[in-house]
Amino acid sequence: MRILLTGGSGRLGRSVAATLAARGHDVTSADLAPADTGPGVRSHTLDLLDESAREDLFAQVRPEAVVHLAGIAVPFARPDTEILDINTRLAWGVLAAAVRHGARSAVAASSPTVFGYGTAAWRPRYLPLDEKHPTAPRHSYGLSKVIIEETARTLARAEDAGCTLTCVRPGYVIAPEEWAGAPTQQGHTVAERLRDPELSAAALFNYVDARDAAELFALLAERPDLAATGGAYHAVAEDALALAPLAELLPRYHPGAAGPASALTGRRSAFSSALAAERLGWRAQRTWRTELVETVSEGG
């Protein structure tokens, strides 16, 4: 397939580009930053908010599928109004262009932050969180992701062009080099996140290997017949990024979640990716226990 990937230079984008190319697709990456995308991927440097440049790109590539990752990827990285403006305008522009130019599928990156966790007052209705749990974002980044999901649903309702529009909510993305000790997007290492639970507590100890998340984006691009248009899918490892069970850790950092957290015994994550497993046969294959180079033990 001819696949247009936006945001191919990012920590997730690099793995998505490599995965799509390895699966035999004709991949074009478009990003503000030059992308070292590796073999089999063409790279275009442009501002996707420039309507003329975006239209020229779509006309040139004629994508059969679009994977949209471009945008501000970290909460609080920019002023709130910029995050909301850039992320939502990018999503509308790219997804609407995908429909208009005849793509069969378009999948956009959302985020688990749509649930609004991160404060001591947060009270989930149940755990683990699945796609049916109500969203309630608490910052502009999470709100932008809710709007991206609604953009996909709106275009799916408004257009009858045969394009299946879906979203993926990847967990805290860990790139391959970060398992070997490279800093994560917060500046500390994976081993440090394990040793100090407070570092991962704000994200409910969730994570996903970038290569595993890339597989779900690829499946949704390739098999739109398996997905419900307008749907969102979690891409989170089933094994929490923690040395102790979340039934013990979550009440310490999220007192409002103490009741529902009692279900998270053993290695269970605070998120369920069962829908992706049921619809697309996707499960995260890599965990910190199999990938982390440094040995980490509780208290060590």
Binning pLDDT at 50, 70 and 90, where does residue 59 land?
A: very high
Closest CA to 253 of 130, 125, 121, 128: 121
Give the per-residue pLDDT at 197: 96
Give per-residue pLDDT as tens, 99-152. 999 999 999 999 999 999 988 789 999 999 999 999 999 999 999 999 999 999
Give the dihedral sign, CA 134/240/143/148.
Answer: negative
Binning pLDDT at 50, 70 and 90, where does residue 36 land?
A: confident
- The four Cα atoms 120, 126, 130, 132 give a dihedral, to 10 degrees, of -110
Tokens of 197: 């639970």
Give the per-residue pLDDT at 86: 98
CB atoms within 10 A of CB 25: 21
The residue with greater pLDDT, 40 or 149, is 149
CATH homologous superfamily of 2-291 equals NAD(P)-binding Rossmann-like Domain (3.40.50.720)
Is residue 300 scored above 70 in pLDDT?
no
CA distance 286 to 63: 30
Give per-residue pLDDT as tens, 241-291. 999 999 999 999 999 999 999 999 999 999 999 999 999 999 999 999 999
CB atoms within 10 A of CB 122: 17
Is residue 61 scored above 70 in pLDDT?
yes
Give the per-residue pLDDT at 271: 98
Give the per-residue pLDDT at 102: 95
Domain chopping of the chain, boundaries: 2-291
Give per-residue pLDDT as tens, 179-231. 999 999 889 999 999 999 999 999 999 999 999 999 999 999 999 999 989 99
